[in-house]
Structure 1
Amino acid sequence: MFRFGKILGTLVKANHYYTVVSLHRQMELNGIASNLVTSNILINCFSQLGLNSRSFSVFANILKKGYHPDTITLTTLIKGLCLKGQIHKALKFHDKLVAQRFQLDQVSYGTLINGLCKVGETSAALQLLRRVDGKLVQPDVVMYSAIIDSMCKDKLVDDAFDLYSEMVAKRVHPNVVTYSTLISGFCIVGKLKEAIDLFNKMILENINPNVYTFNILVDAFCKEGKVKQANNVFAMMMRKGVKPNVVTYTSLMDGYCLVKEMNKAKGTFNAMAQCGVTPNVFSYSTMINGFCKVKMVDEAMNLFEEMHCKKIIPNVVTYSSLIDGLGKSGRISHALKLVDEMHDRGIPPDIVTYNSILDALCTNHHVEKAIALLTKVKDEGIQPNMYTYTILIHGLCKVGRLEDAQKVFEDLLVKGYNLNVYTYTVMIHGFCNKGLFDQALTMLSKMKDNSCIPNAATYEIIIRSLFDKDENDLAEKLLCEMIVMGLL
């Protein structure tokens, strides 16, 4: 039986759950009774397969045979419920176990706390931590790290840092997961300096950052366009013997694309392959988007073809980036062919994809085609967003259909849409182009009344138009208003 248990255990580690269930059934058919160890293995298999009713049947059988379930049995049952998102069932089961004086350990409570965090019940997880603290079990690094991670995902980074400080004060030592989670949290809320301070503290405490920790910092620097600092992190990573992965290289490429250094982005892309790291769909999408943004659409198309050759299936982001690039370079028919290809491949275009096509049609004065496409998009059940309507309003204004543009604009207000600064500015631009300054100024006033703050572009459009028409006094008045608002 001991040897059989070891075989089953090895199969579980290799995720061969159905094989274990089948072997266990054969074992019982051959008259070999299962013990607590093999029963626990079976419960684990059913839990991993999401068959919790079968897990609890095995549990009932354990009790019937007079075995005393251990913490492994009970924790595995709790984990099964948590994996299915049935956290409240798991909590009820926990309360029942405590009432019947069953013993649970740190792993059991760590599983429950993690389960609560996974379904976004951060405050309930914290309450459970307070409930168990020193009474049922001593909180450990796993419990604290799970809650800190959940708080960071909720952008409650200051609360997360307070909890980290509490665990340090209680001599619960943070590990690489704790630090990585907090560093990520600070990066999410744009507190890069605090993230770096924490990273340095981690190093001083001889806790080695892993690839995930380094990737967080590389990505954060790249998103802010600080590619030099990202490269410094990358260099430190290499010095510490941590091998960069596809996420590291893709983040660096994204950084270079953001600052429009496409040669360096392509160099990083090539270096990744030379280092034995295979580019994935996100790597290709990043490069394709980067090339399209600097109007190097042919280079983007070459990479798209390379994806096909390497059997890497493009996703909606890949297609949308390329469609946007083709649209902006006036190759609308090619862009529309890619939309058809998306449908054929079972990758439904989203509103971002269609906005690119609508923008290309409106830019090239094909407003009727844009209106027809928008009708089709709505028929497909895709909800237009504010950017969609802004594109349409701008397109109508460009071809001199100001009244139609106004109708779309007013309809949005009636329907309660929260209009943004870009939509108002497009409408103001339309009025200015027709020399209708009273309407433009009325729109500027309406914009402020609706708590939408004009930006520098809004003022510049009106001021430039007023100067062109020798309305200098009014232009200067608006210029002073700009200065007061700190827009100059």
Structure 2
Amino acid sequence: MTRFSLSRFLLLPIHAQKSKILTLHFTTTARAADKFYLHLQNNPNNIEKTLPTVKAKLDPTCVNDVLQRCFTLPRQSQLAYKKEECVVSVKTMKVLLNLCKKARITNEALWVLRKVPEFNLRADTVMYNIVIRLFCEKGDMVMADNLMKEMGLIDLYPDMITNVSMIEGFCNVGRLEDACALLKAMRGHGCPPNTVAYSTLLDGICKLGRMQMALELLGEMEKEGGNCSPNVITYTSVIQRFCEKGMVMEGLRVLDRMEAYGCAPSRVTINPLIMGLCLHGNIEEAYKFIDKVVAGGSVSYGDCYSSLVFALVRIKRLNEADKLFRKMLASGMKPDGLVCSVMIKELCLKGQVVDGFYLYEEIEKLGCLSTIDSDIHSILLDGLCQESHSLEASKLARFMLEKKNSLQAPYVDKIVKHLKKSGDKGSNYTSH
């Protein structure tokens, strides 16, 4: 370890990327940045240990804000480290690299990596992985590839994280041959590919529209078995890609293949197939398909019918969607929060606000309200207020108070004004 002034690191050469944070600072982000910046000022030593104690959300915007302050106010940044002689460790470097990762500032991360030897420290695979990942996300695969090769020159070995990042990066820029070559070379590098590596390449192939090639690679995974066996995520990804391209029948064949391999589908797997069948007008086939997959035991009618209701709304078959949804409620099935939100919102859009409220009460009895979108409460309450349904509005307001549901900003003034005018206890919402 070397002793050196850490204040340098707060003066990273931030190439003024004119990001949105310079012109738009949300209050919550500003408060978080204030907390982190104040922490740096008051805790000059061992920031890698004390930083997690800050009770604030650390996101890219917040990180950029803090770094920008240190960059634009160099004198102030000196306050962050009152001692010139502070311990610089590999852990310190990793803190800085992770901040760059959070902020998605690639060049600054490379700069930190290049500074490591100046402190008589040695970069490790984790540090290289952070920088390589950033360049892959940026689409600069030349630099990412150079960094990966550089690892071998200092006796570091790319691990699974390195290779998966590179495979995904190559696919994202259309360099499919390089991605495939890397997968084949992994075994010779002492890092044999696994399900994650294969699945990453498989998804990249699908995104590029090479569906026959995807099926061939899937077959290779099935044949290889062991650590390369396709899992539910692998099959689901392929099915989703087929459905996105309108190839629903091919997606159904992949599902059959999945079940034959002994891998049970999840609700996420069947969602795109139900949607695809409905988009092609095959409603009856969708019902038959649901019966088939439910018989397999891995998904329920409640999950499948929730997906079907959502699909019916999507294709504007609103009467059928409403009929099926009410059938679910009558039979005691619990529809998911998304479809509950969609059905209430549809009634409000059609001007049937009171019907929306009564549907809301039915859903409450089944205990499904906790998953409803927060804005649905505001939309429903606003509609009830506009149509002067004071009794229903007050009941809903009281329920929202009990559940501590907040009003959404666009509706607050109108709703509060109505509740005050009504003189009901619901007007107490103004204090929340």
AA in 2 matched with 1:164: L
Deviations 1:244-265 (A, max 9, x none): 49xx84654334764x753221
AA in 1 matched with 2:274: V
The answer to whether the aligner puts 1:253 opposite 2:253 as a matched pair is no
**For residues 192-271 of structure 1, what are the structure 2 equivalents within 5 Å?**
192-203=248-259, 205=261, 207-224=263-280, 225=282, 226-232=285-291, 235=294, 240=299, 244=303, 249=306, 252-255=309-312, 258=315, 261-267=317-323
Match of 1:302 in 2: 351
Q: 1:123 aligns with which of 177, 187, 190?
A: 177
Tell me the SS of whatever aligns to 2:189: coil
Conserved in 2, the CA contact under 8 Å of 1:113 and 1:129? yes
Conserved in 1, the CA contact under 8 Å of 2:242 and 2:250? yes
Conserved in 2, the CA contact under 8 Å of 1:141 and 1:174? yes
Tell me the SS of whatever aligns to 1:46: helix
The answer to whether the aligner puts 1:71 opposite 2:112 as a matched pair is no
Conserved in 1, the CA contact under 8 Å of 2:94 and 2:127? yes
Q: 1:111 aligns with which of 155, 165, 170?
A: 165
Quote the RMSD (CA, aligned, Å): 4.7
User: Which whole-Å CA distance do the structure 2 matches of 1:134 and 1:161 have between them?
Assistant: 25
Conserved in 1, the CA contact under 8 Å of 2:322 and 2:343? no
Q: 2:337 aligns with which of 277, 290, 302?
A: 277
Tell me the SS of whatever aligns to 2:122: coil
Match of 2:405 in 1: none
Conserved in 2, the CA contact under 8 Å of 1:82 and 1:112? yes
Tell me the SS of whatever aligns to 1:108: helix
Match of 2:205 in 1: 151
Larger Rg: 1
Match of 2:37 in 1: none
Deviations 1:206-246 (A, max 9, x none): 5443442122222222223233135437846986479849x
AA in 1 matched with 2:337: V
AA in 2 matched with 1:227: A
Conserved in 2, the CA contact under 8 Å of 1:211 and 1:243? no
**For residues 348-359 of structure 1, what are the structure 2 equivalents within 5 Å?**
none
Conserved in 2, the CA contact under 8 Å of 1:117 and 1:147? yes
Describe the shift of the 1:164–1:74 C-alpha distance in structure 2 as closer, same or farther (beyond 3 A): same
User: Which whole-Å CA distance do the structure 2 matches of 1:110 and 1:13 have between them?
Assistant: 31
Conserved in 2, the CA contact under 8 Å of 1:28 and 1:34? no
Deviations 1:407-465 (A, max 9, x none): xxxxxxxxxxxxxxxxxxxxxxxxxxxxxxxxxxxxxxxxxxxxxxxxxxxxxxxxxxx
Percent identity over paired residues: 19
User: Which whole-Å CA distance do the structure 2 matches of 1:5 and 1:242 have between them?
Assistant: 50
Q: 1:62 aligns with which of 108, 112, 116?
A: 116
Conserved in 1, the CA contact under 8 Å of 2:116 and 2:123? yes
User: Which whole-Å CA distance do the structure 1 matches of 2:54 and 2:267 have between them?
Assistant: 29
Instruction: State the shift of 1:45 in Å.
Output: 1.9
Q: TM-score, normalising length from structure 2?
A: 0.55
The answer to whether the aligner puts 1:179 opposite 2:217 as a matched pair is no
User: Which whole-Å CA distance do the structure 2 matches of 1:32 and 1:3 have between them?
Assistant: 9
Tell me the SS of whatever aligns to 1:111: helix
The answer to whether the aligner puts 1:53 opposite 2:107 as a matched pair is yes
Match of 1:390 in 2: none
Deviations 1:59-88 (A, max 9, x none): 123221222211111111111122233333
User: Which whole-Å CA distance do the structure 2 matches of 1:39 and 1:96 have between them?
Assistant: 19
Q: How many residue pairs get matched? A: 300
Q: 2:140 aligns with which of 86, 97, 108?
A: 86
Describe the shift of the 1:47–1:302 C-alpha distance in structure 2 as closer, same or farther (beyond 3 A): same
Q: Structure 2: which 5+ runs fail to align?
A: 1-43, 71-76, 357-372, 380-409, 411-432
Match of 1:35 in 2: 89
User: Which whole-Å CA distance do the structure 1 matches of 2:232 and 2:239 have between them?
Assistant: 10
Q: Which has the higher contact order (CA 8 A, sep 6+)?
A: 2
Deviations 1:151-191 (A, max 9, x none): 22233211011112223333312222211122223434555
Describe the shift of the 1:227–1:197 C-alpha distance in structure 2 as closer, same or farther (beyond 3 A): closer
User: Which whole-Å CA distance do the structure 1 matches of 2:110 and 2:129 have between them?
Assistant: 12
User: Which whole-Å CA distance do the structure 2 matches of 1:51 and 1:198 have between them?
Assistant: 40
Q: Structure 1: which 5+ runs fail to align?
A: 289-297, 313-344, 346-488
AA in 2 matched with 1:102: L
AA in 2 matched with 1:184: Q
Conserved in 1, the CA contact under 8 Å of 2:306 and 2:336? no
Describe the shift of the 1:187–1:79 C-alpha distance in structure 2 as closer, same or farther (beyond 3 A): same
User: Which whole-Å CA distance do the structure 1 matches of 2:167 and 2:53 have between them?
Assistant: 28
